[in-house]
Amino acid sequence: MVGAGVGGLAAAGALARSNWHVTLLERGDRLRGNGAALLIWPNGVAALQALGLSLGDIAFPMVAGGIRRPDGRWLVEADASPADAAPTDGAQPLPTASGAPSYQAGTHQHSVVVHADDLHDTLMAGLGQIEIRTGVDVATVRAGGAERPAVGTGKYTFEADLIVAADGSRSVIRRRLAPQSAVTSAGYTSWRAVIPWYRAPTLAETVPAAGQMLGAGHRFLHAALGGRGTSGGSTRGGIYWVATAPGAPRPEAAAMQLTLLRRWFADWQAPVGELLEATEPEDLVQQAGEELRPLPRRFSFPVGAGGIVLLGDAAHVATPTLTQGACLAFEDAATLRSLLCDASPGGTLPLALDEYTLARRQRVARVARTSRRLGLVMQARGRLSVRARDAWLERVSPRLLDRAAASAHQWTPPP
């Protein structure tokens, strides 16, 4: 296993529990979370359950809040009609692309927000008995001939029956196996942060508990990690926010990035100003809006009696509009675990690798396409484009937006 992001950790633990001997290689000097928080949609929750992992009380339901303009005017108000009243059959609210609540009848899967460090701790606890090697910067890949696949640092070589490349969007292994695929910019950058409860502002009663605002190429989303003073099993509760702005990632220090964010969003209605003012530079996590195009034709490559598999961002990078990166990585891990349960090197392993590509590529391509199209709407720039978007959002049924995201959120784990 190469890479100790959320996808790599989930897959490493799942394979170890399936009686594979797993060695985890990580470039960093230690395994760590990346701060801020993550939205885990129903497909991600289902994938984690299929992997035998539970978020327990570190995850908090994502409350629907609608969409507003920077001046506070509603574009899509959270639907409070009787049809969307709380169900009586045990269903849970599903936050949707429009921000209005919908429900999945007869299920208990719902979208949650979880602190990234709490998620990292949960995945670490599920690793079991594996070998971990840090400070390993993979530079070479052996993927031809009859020999077993291998990766190397120039000084050390690591052979295995199966190499799982979970080494992120700049994957060295993918560049060797699928050189035609390249990471391209979506034209915007996002910043994420969690303001801990002890310094989080008390928001006015008129401010939605969660929701998003859309401006000209700018976007702001906020949600609560639990309630003030009640963080469940986590000591990392607070208010989570995401700000998106046009342009490439900023090279300045975090303090200057925060100053720029306060300037860009200075005239936006509450709670934007209050949340940015309560944020400290060390809270910020910057993320480029990117996409991998074209997708690799294969996510798996038989080598000798074994092979190499691409997982998570190493296989696919979709624009972050649908916030599906972690969820798709968990789906990859759950699918791989299912296919490899009874696979053996030199026997059924090559067939299992072929099945992995068949199971994942079409699904990922569909999500990436949906995210790209929705991003064109949400990140509209220019006066005419913004007017057209706002007018469309005001007159269209929220359910039309919800259907645009439904294909991403609905996924059934393999047996």
Lowest model confidence (mean pLDDT) among 63-67, 258-262, 313-317, 409-413: 63-67
Task: Inform me whether the pLDDT recorded for 86 exceeds 70.
Answer: no
Burial class (CB in 10 A: 0-12, 13-18, 19+), 237: buried
- What is 6-66+104-183+292-409's CATH topology? FAD/NAD(P)-binding domain (3.50.50)
Q: What is the structure's pLDDT at 161?
A: 95
Over residues 164-183, mean pLDDT = 97
Confidence of residue 80 (pLDDT cuts 50, 70, 90): very low
Average pLDDT over residues 306-334: 95
pLDDT digits (tens, 9 = 90+) for 21-43: 999 999 999 998 888 999 999 99
| 403 confidence band (pLDDT: 50, 70, 90) | low
pLDDT of residue 110: 76
Cα dihedral value 400, 403, 404, 407, nearest 10? 180
126-152 pLDDT, tens per residue?
Answer: 998 999 999 999 999 999 878 899 999
Q: Are the beta carbons of 225 and 240 closer than 8 angstroms?
A: yes
Query: Token pair 């099993």 is at which residue?
Result: 233
The residue type of 8 is: G
Instruction: Extract the tokens encoding 101.
Output: 């609540």
CB atoms within 10 A of CB 19: 8
Q: Which of 50-54, 122-126, 328-332, 343-347 is predicted with the least confidence, judged by mean pLDDT?
A: 343-347
Distance CA 271, CA 403 (A): 28
Q: For position 397, what pLDDT does the model report? A: 55
Question: Higher model confidence: residue 319 or residue 86?
Answer: 319
Give the CB-side neighbour count of residue 373, counting CA atoms within 13 A. Answer: 12
336 by DSSP, 3-state: which? helix
Q: Is 50 exceeded by the pLDDT of residue 93?
A: no
For the chain, first and last CA: distance in Å?
Answer: 23
pLDDT of amino acid 90: 33
pLDDT value at position 103? 31
Q: What are 211's strand-pairing partners? A: 222
Q: What is the pLDDT of residue 144?
A: 85
Encode pLDDT of 263-293 as tens digits: 999 999 999 999 999 999 999 999 999 999 9
Q: Residue 196 corresponds to which tokens in the numbers above?
A: 């801990």
Specify whether the CB–CB gap between 368 and 316 falls below 8 A: yes
- Structural contact between residues 133 and 24, judged by C-beta atoms closer than 8 angstroms: yes
Q: Tokens representing 136?
A: 């390993």
Distances (CA, A) of 62 to 101, 105, 252, 282: 10, 17, 32, 24
- Residues whose CB is less than 8 angstroms from the CB of residue 307 and which lie 6 or more positions away in sequence, other chains included: 149, 162, 163, 300, 301, 349, 350, 353
Q: Give the model's pLDDT for residue 87.
A: 34
CB-CB contact of 145 with 304 (8 Å): yes
The pLDDT value given to residue 199: 93
Which of 199, 163, 168, 200 lies closest to 183 in space, CA to CA? 168
For helices 325-340 and 6-17, the axis angle rounded to 10 degrees is: 20
Q: Do residues 401 and 98 make contact, with C-beta atoms less than 8 angstroms apart?
A: yes
Determine the Cα–Cα distance for residues 233 and 306; give it in Å rounded to an integer: 41
Average pLDDT of the chain to the nearest whole number: 88
Residues in Cβ contact with 126 at an 8 Å cutoff, skipping those fewer than 6 apart: 9, 10, 13, 17, 51, 52, 53
Residue 98, beta-bridge partner list? none
Which region holds residue 375: left if phi is over 0, alpha if psi is between -120 and 50, else beta?
Answer: alpha
CA angle centred on 214, ends 76 and 63, rounded to 5°: 55
Confidence of residue 115 (pLDDT cuts 50, 70, 90): very high
Q: Is the pLDDT of residue 12 over 80?
A: yes
Task: Give me the pLDDT at residue 393, please.
Answer: 84
What pLDDT, on a 0 to 100 scale, did the predictor assign at position 82? Answer: 34
Confidence band, pLDDT 50/70/90 cuts, at residue 184? very high
CB 71 within 8 A of CB 55: no
More confident residue, 245 or 91: 245
Quick one: average pLDDT of 87-114? 47
Sequence spans of domains, the chain: 6-66+104-183+292-409, 188-290
What pLDDT is stored for residue 338 in this prediction?
96
The pLDDT value recorded for residue 92 is: 37
Q: Please give the share of the chain, as a percent, with pLDDT higher than 90.
A: 70
Q: Where are the beta strands (DSSP E) in 300-369?
A: 300-303, 306-310
381 vs 34, residue with greater confidence: 381
| AA letter at 207 | V
- 188-290 fold: D-Amino Acid Oxidase; Chain A, domain 2 (3.30.9)
pLDDT of 359 reads: 97
The answer to whether the predicted template modeling score (pTM) of the entire model surpasses 0.85 is yes
**What's the pLDDT score for residue 281?**
97
Convert 239-264 to b/e letters by CB count within 10 Å (16 or more is b): bbbbbbbeeebeeeebeebbeebeeb
